[in-house]
Amino acid sequence: MSKSIILLAVSCLLCFASARAEQVGAQIYDSQCKSCHGSEGSALDTPILHGQEPAYIVKSLLAFKKEIRKDQIM
């Protein structure tokens, strides 16, 4: 099998994986975040998620999980 065919196959797999990850992320946001942060991630009475760097959101969520960062709801 030539390198170009292998590269094409890997690229296709990555595209499908990325699309699936985006879909799962949207489902998680809808079920666990949207009620407080709003459908656009910019509710007035909670931290704004819209426009934040993904690394910042991951860091913040991990801090909540490790109980380094605290909030009554989170």
Using alpha carbons, select from 27, 46, 13 the residue that is nearest to residue 38.
46
pTM of the model: 0.64
Residue 59 backbone class (left: φ over 0; alpha: ψ -120 to 50; beta: rest): alpha
Distance CA 40, CA 23 (A): 16
Digit-coded pLDDT (tens) for 22-68:
888 889 899 989 999 999 998 888 889 999 998 999 999 999 989 99
Q: Which two tokens stand for residue 58?
A: 């991951």
